[in-house]
Chain A
């Protein structure tokens, strides 16, 4: 099972928007509406930001949103803030198992 592909890094100024893509196949991202996104700050455990493609857990700012088209899922962060600087990982169901994307470093300029 290959990991879904994510850009290694994205950067943008505060207040702007960034979109992180997670490109898989019809056997994972494209085949199920079970894609989640995790934020990880250095030295910390991952934190759930989006689940089931578009759903946001309570406590996660509505600046974070998720979507999916065909084999590509996306995480958009609107109104970028300094504390959003972190690594982001997508995670997709593959039919009984799961696979993480390679991760994307978001830098707030």
Chain B
């Protein structure tokens, strides 16, 4: 069965960086894009970007350009997302999601809570 297991909670100071992982299993990792979506406490979903695990190609939402980097390790079926220069208002649950194609996000990770606080 398809599983997407994310790394645990992190606490970071403003200005620091965080790297979140998303380990997949139960399907061929390189066949489907992975998207990253975040949700601040009590707020809505915000799309951040995607990575093509086959080619390593990426696309980021404009507001994250230059501060977000998505990578992958095909040998272990894991995708990563790093956010730099964190601000306190970026405390959020960060999700990874598999895209079957054209925005069909059928499997989601459990979310990784990133708390940004001084």
Contacts and interface: CB of A to CB of B under 8 A. Distances in A.
A109 interface: no
Contacts, number: 65
Contacts of B103: 34-36, 51-52, 91-93, 98
A71 B87 CA distance: 34
A87 B114 CA distance: 22
B11 interface: no
A99 interface: yes
Interface string A34-60: 111010100001111001100001000
Contacts of A51: 102-104
A89 interface: yes
Given A45-B108, A45-B110, A100 B47 contact: yes
Interface residues of B, number: 22
Contacts of A89: 44-45
Interface in B21-59: 35, 37, 44-47, 49-50, 59
Interface of B: 35, 37, 44-47, 49-50, 59, 61-62, 95, 97, 102-106, 108-111
24 contacts: A1-B61, A36-B105, A45-B108, A45-B110, A46-B37, A46-B97, A48-B104, A52-B102, A52-B103, A57-B104, A57-B106, A89-B44, A91-B45, A91-B47, A91-B103, A92-B103, A93-B103, A96-B59, A98-B103, A99-B61, A100-B37, A100-B44, A100-B45, A100-B47
Given A35-B103, A51-B102, A98-B47, 7 more contacts: A46-B37, A48-B104, A51-B104, A52-B103, A91-B103, A91-B105, A100-B45
